[in-house]
Amino acid sequence: MSVLLLADSYGLTSGRLVATSAALLGLIGAIVGGLALARSRRGGTGRRGAFTALAAGLVAAAVGAFALAVADGGPGTGNGVVGAYVALVAGAAGVILGWLTLARSRSTV
């Protein structure tokens, strides 16, 4: 006879809190990176936004990778796996957008 134990994972666990915070930071980095890239295309430099996007993206991706490394289960277990994946993707987007903005600002100066 098999007994199925369900975890009460409807609340905000510490894993979900860390992963959600990292995901929000990654989304902020991606948005700032996109705005900085748009500013650099209009003739400005956007270097401050590029550095902000790079820093936020790197931190979000690192925290997302850490959250995935220490997660015990899959999605729905309260470990923050879904938020960690979002943090990895959004953090990578922020890093890429920040890098593109810096590359563009170096070529025009």
Question: CA 13, CA 18: separation in Å to the nearest integer?
Answer: 9
Map 23-35 to HEC letters: HHHHHHHHHHHHH
Q: Where are the domains of the chain?
A: 14-108
pLDDT digits (tens, 9 = 90+) for 4-27: 555 555 676 777 788 889 999 999
> Which H helix or E strand runs over 63?
helix 47-70
Question: CA 70, CA 88: separation in Å to the nearest integer?
Answer: 15
pLDDT digits (tens, 9 = 90+) for 43-56: 666 788 889 999 99
Can you say whether the dihedral through the CA atoms of 37, 38, 44, 49 is positive or negative? negative
pLDDT digits (tens, 9 = 90+) for 46-99: 788 889 999 999 999 999 999 888 877 777 676 778 889 999 999 999 999 999
pTM: 0.79
Task: With cut-offs at 50, 70 and 90, classify the pLDDT of residue 29.
Answer: very high
Q: Provide the percentage of residues in the chain whose pLDDT is more than 90.
A: 39
